[in-house]
Structure 1
Amino acid sequence: MSQNDIEKLIELFKNPKKIVISSHYNPDGDAVGSAMALYHVLKQLNHQVSVIFPNKFPLFLSWIEESERSLIFEQDGASASQVISAADIIFCVDYNSFKRLGEMESLMVKSKAIKVLIDHHPDPEKEHFGFVYHSASASSTAELVYKFLKLTGLHSKINRQVAESLYAGIITDTGSLSFSCNNPDTYIIIAKLIQKGLDAERAHRLIYDDFSENRMRLLGYTIYQKMIVIPEYFTAIIALTIDELARFGYQQGDTEGIVNFPLSMKAINFSVMLVERTDRIRLSFRSKGSFPANIIAARYFEGGGHLNAAGGDSYLSMQETIKRLKEILPQYYDQLNFEIR
């Protein structure tokens, strides 16, 4: 982002505006944390601020203050549409394309509001945004929001609520600081957030130690009964059907993080989780080292993401999707055959 763009944004923020903060379909910790951090800052500047998510976010993020005030497009599309249409500025956080907004896409494309992108996903569609603050090397969008606040002179507005929100984004998008976290900036920012009032231990517990009994039993069932290990290709596959989710009283977010567990095994370098939805199979990919999970997602499953964490969709049946995955793996044997020392 150029100095000229920064100065323009500073000028825009001087007078109260109608501001919308949007994020992607199936919002995760980085999406919710980044959006709510901006919300808490902009409210202090007396802007009229609304946060809109395409669908519900996981329950384990509901502790983030005022997240309950966010609009969920799937539940109240009329109100969300009205707010988007009236917006002067729309922040687009943690997504690189309007395609990631689901049914919100057309409204966002049509909106005449000034659009500000803050994101760390590769290859953003920059032509659709008036201002772009992007870095694919950042640990998370939350890390970029922190830096954006510094660039625009709003760093002084970071209070406990902002700090907690940003921490939630950073810690969840790095797998609790287990990947995409080799930049000293990430740790320096967390230290600064603690100085601003963040209780990191409390926030970590609220994110990771808030399982329902059903979610814990689903995790056990998934690892014991549903994990397919393919040792010759250093890969594990987990697949859950709609009926299996219903059996464990599934709620939004209950499968979050399960895909990471197989990577705890020494000989597994690639993990894939398939979750059946009503209209598709949703795939989550995780990898170790330099194996490109995002390439697999983009090349074969209409998705994308980061080197070690990506997502995609299949419109085949569950069994056909698993078969497709198994057919792909031999092509990547050499890249998968490594040991981290």
Structure 2
Amino acid sequence: MLTEPEEIQQCFQKMEAALKNTKRLIVLTHDNPDPDAVSSAVTLAYLVNSKFKIPTAVKYSGIVGRAENRAMIRVLGLRVTPLKDSDFKRGVNFAVVDMQPGTGNNSLPKRQKAVIIIDHHPLRKTTKADFVDIRIDYGATATILTEYLLESGLEISSTLATALSYGISSETQDLGREAGEKDIQAYLALFPKSNKKLLASIEHPKLSRDYFITLNRALHHSFIYKNAIASSLGEIENPDFVAFIADFMLKVERINWSMCIGRTPEKIIVSVRTTNTKGDAGNFLRRLIGKKGTAGGHGMVGGGQIICETMEHELCTHIEEQLIRDFLIKLGYREPGDMTPLLTTEPIHT
């Protein structure tokens, strides 16, 4: 059952109060946004623009890397543009979705306060805004925005329904990962209104050669120890591949934990995935990275980063190797032996 209409209307009232001095709003996603973030952002922009008559734009930093994510924006014609320095000017306020300020995965400056925060990740002690809606029992932020949209009285276009339904399904892996009853009900409410042909073209896009090159590298640089697999991509141009490979490697038989590491000129990026519903991957990765960087996530999904732009190559490599060893140690293997290459016929440690 979805949230009671009275609760949603109270949220609208609080949101309107939070926006009372806002002349223009920018809805900001986390860096390198995924479908959950994009669909949530465009829906919030539509609600604010239509319900409160405030001009609103959706912005992001980084890149939209995965083919599915680019296809979603392209085929649905979503108005999502890169954040610029000129966006930070007087009279412009910020809302953030699918993330919280200070997590290291977004480009909201410390000096810039968000007036609205909507997210499904665990509430951070530093998270403050005029309107905050954090629901950690939801599998996707898009589910929260779907509830708003259904109760808004506004027209639900096929474009928004398609974006939100894909946002929910991709974030929850077709309702199979951390999806609760609210996510299922939201998806079922959206699906009849969504464009099935466009949805199929988003889910099955053409793939670039870079995709296969990176996948080849991942396959040749993935190593298994008992129920864990670790992949090292080295230097990458597309940060989205780190999370993709972490997800992909969970498909290996007998594997319950997966970690992938990749490096951009600025950051070492780390993703952790688990099939354990009580794995608490976000906190697991936060403890793994420690003070070296920042991390977050939720039950079965974790993401983090370590700033490395001033480090020598050898130091970055050492940190990555240590992360993989600590990954195994924190899984309970106090003195892990050599890991077995994924692409080998040798027996795996059991």
Instruction: Look up the SS of the partner of 1:286 in the other structure.
Output: strand
CA displacement at 1:331 relative to structure 2: 4.0
Q: Indicate the residue corresponding to 1:339 in structure 2.
A: none
Alignment partner of 1:97 is 2:101: yes
Q: 1:24 to 1:331 in 2, by over 3 A?
A: closer
Q: Give yes or no for contact 1:93–1:141 (8 Å, CA) kept in 2.
A: yes
Alignment partner of 1:178 is 2:176: yes
Aligned residues: 311
Q: Indicate the residue corresponding to 2:222 in structure 1.
A: 227
Name the structure with the higher helix share.
Answer: 1
The TM-score with structure 1 as length reference comes to: 0.80
Q: Indicate the residue corresponding to 2:163 in structure 1.
A: 165
Alignment partner of 1:32 is 2:38: yes
Alignment partner of 1:133 is 2:133: yes
Task: Give the residue type in structure 1 aligned to 2:109.
Answer: E
Q: 1:16 to 1:166 in 2, by over 3 A?
A: same
Q: Indicate the residue corresponding to 1:187 in structure 2.
A: 184
CA distance in 1 between partners of 2:131 and 2:16 (Å): 12
Task: Give the residue type in structure 2 aligned to 1:194.
Answer: F
2:257 counterpart (264, 267, 270) = 270
Task: Give the residue type in structure 2 aligned to 1:37.
Answer: T
CA distance in 2 between partners of 1:166 and 1:7 (Å): 23
Q: How does 1:179-258 map to 2 (within 5 A)?
A: 179-181=177-179, 183-195=180-192, 197-200=193-196, 202-223=198-219, 225-231=220-226, 234-242=227-235, 245=236, 250-251=237-238, 253-258=240-245
Instruction: Look up the SS of the partner of 1:214 in the other structure.
Output: helix
Q: Give yes or no for contact 1:19–1:91 (8 Å, CA) kept in 2.
A: yes
Q: How does 1:9-48 map to 2 (within 5 A)?
A: 9=15, 17-45=23-51, 46-48=53-55
RMSD, aligned α-carbons: 3.0
Instruction: Look up the SS of the partner of 2:46 in the other structure.
Output: helix
CA distance in 2 between partners of 1:13 and 1:96 (Å): 18
CA displacement at 1:72 relative to structure 2: 1.5
1:71 counterpart (81, 88, 107) = 81
Instruction: Look up the SS of the partner of 1:206 in the other structure.
Output: helix
Q: Indicate the residue corresponding to 1:332 in structure 2.
A: 331
CA distance in 2 between partners of 1:330 and 1:11 (Å): 49
Instruction: Look up the SS of the partner of 2:136 in the other structure.
Output: coil
Q: Indicate the residue corresponding to 1:261 in structure 2.
A: 248
Q: Give yes or no for contact 1:53–1:71 (8 Å, CA) kept in 2.
A: yes
Q: 1:253 to 1:279 in 2, by over 3 A?
A: closer
CA displacement at 1:278 relative to structure 2: 1.2
CA displacement at 1:241 relative to structure 2: 1.4
CA displacement at 1:117 relative to structure 2: 1.3
CA distance in 2 between partners of 1:163 and 1:126 (Å): 33
Alignment partner of 1:86 is 2:91: yes
Q: Give yes or no for contact 2:246–2:271 (8 Å, CA) kept in 1.
A: yes
Task: Give the residue type in structure 2 aligned to 1:327.
Answer: D
Task: Give the residue type in structure 1 aligned to 2:147.
Answer: K
Q: 1:222 to 1:333 in 2, by over 3 A?
A: same
Q: Give yes or no for contact 1:133–1:148 (8 Å, CA) kept in 2.
A: no
CA distance in 1 between partners of 2:302 and 2:210 (Å): 26
CA displacement at 1:321 relative to structure 2: 2.1
CA displacement at 1:295 relative to structure 2: 2.1
CA distance in 1 between partners of 2:8 and 2:126 (Å): 14
Higher mean C-alpha deviation, range 200-209 or range 24-33: 200-209
Q: Give yes or no for contact 2:8–2:148 (8 Å, CA) kept in 1.
A: no
Q: Give yes or no for contact 2:239–2:262 (8 Å, CA) kept in 1.
A: no
Q: Give yes or no for contact 1:81–1:107 (8 Å, CA) kept in 2.
A: no
Task: Give the residue type in structure 1 aligned to 2:80.
Answer: S
Please list every run of 5 or more consecutive structure 2 residues that lacks an aligned counterpart in the other structure. 1-6, 309-314, 334-350
Q: Percent identity?
A: 19
Q: 1:71 to 1:305 in 2, by over 3 A?
A: same
